[in-house]
Amino acid sequence: MTVLTLGRMSPDTLYKGYDRLIEIFARIPASAPVRLVLAGDGSRRAELEARAHALGLTGRVHFTRSVAERDLPALYRACDVFSLVTHGGYGGGEGITLTPLEAAACGKPILVGDQDGSHEAAEDGVTGFVVHSFDLDAQRARILELADDPERRKRMGVAARARIEREHGYERFRGRVEELCTEMGLLSR
């Protein structure tokens, strides 16, 4: 099973939890059929690569460079689970995060944190999991649960895509914009 995370790797994005995700993979037995792909680039990338190497994760944790926008759907579809467990510390945090929504739109279950707005991206236990951002054992357990149950991953991915279409699709967006414009007096009924 491939777990994907994606984003900028710089000092101002410590809240995105890439270092914690690498630590989680160090706690997963080498015999487990899971690997991690960290897609993106930035000034912390070399540090994160060195940490993965120091933990003996070469061959299980892989880094890509920045990914072109046009290639993102293929990247999301190539993974089995998407993880971005952010938190509000270090002066950061997220509103509702875009990358988990994009992964869900590609039919992938998502793993997000409970410390900022990113928890809104997942319906816990249905489209993925919402986990405590600093509970590495809980995150590890959820990854292993999904690794052991391909049917559950598939059901969650289908539910994730359906939720995106229902709550974030074009018709829903258009309706919200029309309502807002009407309330502001920009459109009449």
* pLDDT of 184 strictly over 90: no
The reported pLDDT for the residue numbered 167 is 87
Confidence of residue 35 (pLDDT cuts 50, 70, 90): very high
The reported pLDDT for the residue numbered 119 is 84
In single-letter form, the type of residue at position 120 comes to E
The reported pLDDT for the residue numbered 97 is 80
Q: How far apart are CA 113 and CA 136, in angstroms?
A: 11
At 109 the three-state DSSP class reads: coil
The reported pLDDT for the residue numbered 96 is 75
Mean pLDDT value across residues 68-87? 96
At 158 the three-state DSSP class reads: helix
**Nearest of 88, 79, 35, 82 to residue 57 by alpha carbon:** 35
Q: Please answer whether residues 11 and 43 qualify as being in contact, where contact means their C-beta atoms are separated by less than 8 angstroms.
A: yes
pLDDT tens digit sequence for 61-77: 999 999 999 999 999 99
* pLDDT of 100 strictly over 90: yes
The reported pLDDT for the residue numbered 91 is 57
Confidence of residue 92 (pLDDT cuts 50, 70, 90): low
* pLDDT of 189 strictly over 70: no
CB under 8 Å to 22, separation ≥6 — which residues?
Answer: 36, 38, 48, 51, 52, 55, 57, 61
The reported pLDDT for the residue numbered 20 is 97
For the ranges 68-72, 94-98, 112-116, 177-181, the lowest mean pLDDT is seen at 94-98
As given in the structure block, the two tokens for residue 56 are 């003996």
CB under 8 Å to 51, separation ≥6 — which residues?
Answer: 19, 22
Q: How far apart are CA 109 and CA 124, in angstroms?
A: 10
As given in the structure block, the two tokens for residue 75 are 């990247």
**Nearest of 156, 87, 97 to residue 128 by alpha carbon:** 156
The reported pLDDT for the residue numbered 176 is 84
* Top-tier CATH class for 2-183: alpha beta
**Nearest of 94, 80, 87 to residue 128 by alpha carbon:** 80
pLDDT tens digit sequence for 142-171: 999 999 999 999 999 999 999 999 988 888
